A = this chain, B = another copy of it.
Amino acid sequence: MLPALIARLGAHRVLTAREDIIPYGFDGTATLKQVPAAVVFPASAEDVSFVLRLAREHGAPVVARGSGTGLSGGSVPMAGGIVLCLAKMDRVLEIDTANLTLRAEAGAITQKIYEAADAAGLFYPPDPGSMKISTIGGNVAENSGGLRGLKYGVTRDYVMGLEVVLADGAICWLGSKCVKDVAGYNLRDLFIGSEGTLGVVTQVLLKLLPRPAARRTLLATFTSMEAAAAAVSAIIAAKVIPCTLEFLDRKTLACVEDFARVGLPRDAEAVLLVETDGHPAAADDEAAAVESICRTGGAAVVRRAADAAEAARLASARRSAFSALARLRPTTILEDVTVPRSELAGMVRAVQIIAERHGLQIATFGHFGDGNLHPTILTDERDTAEMHRVELALAEIVAETLRRGGTITGEHGVGLAKKPFLRRQLGDASFELLRLVKRALDPDGRLNPGKIFD
């Protein structure tokens, strides 16, 4: 198989030396890893098709990946085989200002797409935490979210079309530049979030929006978590939908302040970071409404960012939460449970009780506006006894989430990390339906085997 790969792609696009391929054996979880047999770098959909046909002949599993920033083990090559790294297919191919679309290769960095749109006065809203290094293909594979989900939705909401290479090597275009298109089943959305188990995405056609004219940033601190959650409910009840509505608990707060030094108050029990955007009058009115609701709801401090620089400092402090927490203990496990918005306060409290019961350090931050929480377990994978308690705590967090009508993963994907819990969330009928679809599209189980389900 290797000679054929080298003949097609050239030796510089095929890695097999152990020291070269180790970096392609893990993702952002860091705890899940496995060394593949080879790593190849296709330059086109036709290259990808070639690799898939070759893998089929040789019975080799294929795991597609981009930058490997995933947080559920979705791109970890557990079954060995070939890693198909799309990082070199990284061009933004077209910005169509008449149709408000952008077409890019799957390996294009999300930040580069955001900037290309911005340069044309347009806006690509999805902003996963890893956007400076993650690829758009990875975002599509995991249906990545981000901080703007409440108002703007997630990656799926901006994908108009995909070029996908199927397990048998066939190359398909799914979707078009048409805003409305109901010709045949919507298979585009089936591939979005399928974690590389149904096909390999090689090109994406994205929808862009006009860039919002104004943005206002507020910070509100609360002396109780319940008060912060009640303020979020009151904001939504007032029919205000901010662009971002982020939450940090006391533990995260202190840690971020140590790390970023932006003047966050260390004594608050909870902090909300709120951004409104759009027409300047709308952004102002919404910011004023949020401020008034927070004050009425007992916020200790409400501070408006004086200028764009302060707003950027606050946003970047929030974005540093995971990195800041990761410094505290050798192992950081970032959870991704999500509940309906009305269940937020109860869920955060439940996580705190679970942490206390098992004697664990769990800091929680996340996207309060869309119910997406990131309880972050700070631990040490070398400590077997503690890791056992971590397992128990994770199972309890998942059970609590499902009891509240939530989901085991809001934006990170099932991958390996959430596989044990999927059937419980979906129920038998829906779970079997997933397997039916997998068998139809990848009958030999060649694409990213062992992910999502066994």
Contacts and interface: CB of A to CB of B under 8 A. Distances in A.
Contacts of A125: none
Contacts of A342: 96, 98-99
Interface string A310-328: 0000000000000000000
A430 B190 CA distance: 13
Given A237-B98, A241-B210, A282-B279, A183 B372 contact: no
Contacts of A174: 430
Given A237-B98, A429-B170, A181 B440 contact: no
Interface string A192-207: 1110001000000000
Contacts of A278: 278-279, 282
A340 interface: yes
Q: How large is the interface on A (under 10, 10 to 19, 20 to 34, 35 or more residues)?
A: 35 or more
A279 B372 CA distance: 28
Contacts of A116: none
- Assembly of this chain: how many copies? 2
Interface string A278-310: 111110010000000000000000000000000
A179 interface: yes
A183 B414 contact: yes
Nearest to A211: B239
Contact of A149 (B179, B187, B193): B179
A364 to B, nearest CB: 16
A278 B429 CA distance: 42
A236 B338 contact: no
Nearest to A432: B170
Contact of A430 (B172, B192, B426): B172
Given A430-B174, A440-B436, A341 B237 contact: no
A429 B172 contact: yes
A371 interface: yes
B370 A426 contact: no
A396 B184 CA distance: 20
Contact of A414 (B182, B282, B430, B438): B182
A182 B281 contact: no
Contact of A179 (B150, B183, B418): B150
A430 B184 contact: yes
A275 to B, nearest CB: 16
Nearest to A344: B98
Interface stretch (A27-35, A54-62, A77-85, A403-411): A403-411
B179 A427 contact: no
Given A190-B190, A233-B98, A429-B170, A182 B436 contact: no
B181 A410 contact: yes
Best-surrounded residue of A156, A185, A281, A422 (most CB of chain B within 10 A): A185
A121 interface: yes
B185 A340 contact: no
A418 B342 CA distance: 44
A233 B72 CA distance: 43
A411 B180 contact: yes
A285 B279 CA distance: 9
Contacts of A99: 340-342
Given A145-B182, A176-B340, 15 more contacts: A99-B340, A121-B239, A149-B179, A173-B430, A176-B405, A176-B406, A178-B370, A180-B338, A181-B410, A185-B434, A185-B437, A187-B433, A190-B437, A281-B282, A436-B440
Interface of A: 96-100, 121-122, 142-143, 145, 149-150, 154, 156-157, 166, 170-174, 176-187, 189-190, 192-194, 198, 209-211, 233, 236-237, 239-241, 278-282, 285, 338-342, 367, 369-372, 405-414, 418, 422, 425-427, 429-434, 436-441, 452
20 contacts: A97-B237, A98-B233, A121-B239, A122-B239, A143-B186, A179-B338, A180-B407, A180-B410, A182-B193, A182-B410, A182-B414, A183-B407, A183-B408, A185-B434, A186-B194, A210-B240, A281-B282, A436-B441, A437-B437, A437-B441
